[in-house]
Amino acid sequence: MTKILLVGGGGMIGQKIAHQLAESGLPGQTVTKVTLFDLFVPVHGPPHDAAIVGGLNDQALVVQAISDRPDVIILLAAAVSGEAEQDFSMGWRVNTVDMWSFLEAIRMSNQADGYCPRVIFASSVAVFGGPLPGVIPDDFHCAPQSSYGNQKVVGEMYISDYSRKGYIDGLSLRLPTITVRPGKANKAASSCFSGIIREPLNGQEAILPLPDTTEHIHASPRAAAGFFRHAATLNTSLLKGVRAITMPGVSCTIAEQISALRAVAGDNVIARIKRVEDPAVAKIVETWPRAFEAKRAHALGFKAEETFAEVLAVYLEDEGIKPSA
């Protein structure tokens, strides 16, 4: 039996991953035990075998979480971009100090009995910063221009060094913005990319704080779950020591997002999008890349959608929405 620990598994991506794991296991492995480790257990959450309610700053719970020696640990828990920018101390504590404490607990177990799990870290395209070319190659340098981006770089370095020392077998997945996120908007600067689709389809007004010309990279929650499932069984010797991988995604403008929504839902739904520019959000987003080559990810077998219409179709299917244009 493959044992998987989802840290931050109560969130949107975590629930998608947990559902996939419960339904089909890892590639080539149909029996999987899934444990959630989160600040809360969702009422209508994914099927799972166990749940540990708490945070990474609780050392006793961390020890409990790894006592079952999970084979794969997926690190999703984080303070999101807007939160990390607004609350400097909290962002660094949650995104770096707490993560270091968790990895230290694994290291202690490694020294005690040789425990060495696969650890998959949810990084972000925010690790890149300007000046940016139109398309980011796989070997582009990291120069983040937000606290969140800097914190994600630190997390990547943890994964690299703990793997180099043999305490874990880790890799970092640089995720594009996951769109369309179900549920409610959060404080992520990228939240509006989902909001302008989700809210209008649900009969609600959506605030768009960015210009229509803003270009960004997207992948569906289904694709994100697939990234993590694939990473769980990837032969990490293929990484040749470079443990961070930029994931593929769809590059498009907000205008193209709205056009895809109009094609399936019509002008009445589009009319629910209200443009109210927010310089604080724009300042964060404008430092993010707009397109990736992602040749390395494709060569390693990672897959995502190729058009925003496909991303939108996944959301409609997963949420059971049938709009009429």
Give the residue numbers marked as catalytic.
148
The two beta strands, 250-253 and 215-219, are antiparallel
Q: 313 phi and psi, to 5 degrees?
A: -60, -40
Mapping DSSP onto H, E and C, the string for 183-237 reads CCCCCCCCHHHHHHHHHHHCCCCEEECCCCCCEEEEECHHHHHHHHHHHHHCCHH
| Cβ pair 78, 8 in contact under 8 A | yes
Whether the CA torsion 301, 226, 307, 124 is positive or negative: it is negative
* Residues 26, 221: Cα–Cα separation, whole Å: 17
User: Would you call the peptide bond into 323 cis, given omega within 30 degrees of 0 as the criterion?
Assistant: no
Structure-token match 């719970």, residue found: 61
- For the record, the structure tokens of 289 come out as 């890349």
Beta 72-75 vs 2-7: how paired, if at all? parallel
Report the C-alpha gap between 7 and 18 in whole angstroms: 11
Whole-angstrom distance, CA of residue 193 vs CA of residue 210: 9
How far apart are the C-alpha atoms of 33 and 45, rounded to whole Å?
A: 16
> In the numeric block, which tokens belong to residue 263?
């094609």
| CB neighbourhood size of 34 (10 A) | 27
